[in-house]
Amino acid sequence: MKMTLATIAALTFAGAAVAQGVGFAELDADKNGALSYSEVTAALPDTTKEAFTAADTDANGTLSKAEFKAATTKTNG
Ligand SMILES: [Ca+2]
Ligand SMILES: [Ca+2]
């Protein structure tokens, strides 16, 4: 697998979430089923815009549960 800088950034963000035991439900403060950048940074202040964008694979500005899971699964596996 080719590791781009964006991929590494996404894994760093997901790794931080896993390391802190923060799951999708904890991050989704308004419970709308998607994570905004501000919701992610509220729990994980070190998350860069680059990391968030890298995990947002459909580039719609929020992370779906599937996108979040994909990022954290890469970290675990
Ligand atoms: Ca939300
Ligand atoms: Ca998205």
Domain limits, the chain? 5-76
Q: What spacing in Å lies between the alpha carbon of 35 and ligand 2's midpoint?
A: 9
- Of the candidate ranges 6-15, 30-39, 46-55, the one whose mean pLDDT is the lowest: 6-15
pLDDT value at residue 74:
65
Q: How far is CA 18 from the centre of its chain?
A: 10
Q: What spacing in Å lies between the alpha carbon of 20 and ligand 2's midpoint?
A: 22
- The ligand with the least distance to the CA atom of 36 is 1
pLDDT score of 30 more than 70: yes
CATH topology of domain 5-76: Recoverin; domain 1 (1.10.238)
Overall residue count recorded for the chain in this entry? 77
- The ligand with the least distance to the CA atom of 61 is 2
Q: Which of 43, 18, 41, 74 is CA-nearest to residue 52? A: 41
Helices assigned H by DSSP within 1-64: 5-19, 24-27, 37-43, 49-55
The CA distances from residue 72 to 7, 8, in Å, are 12, 12
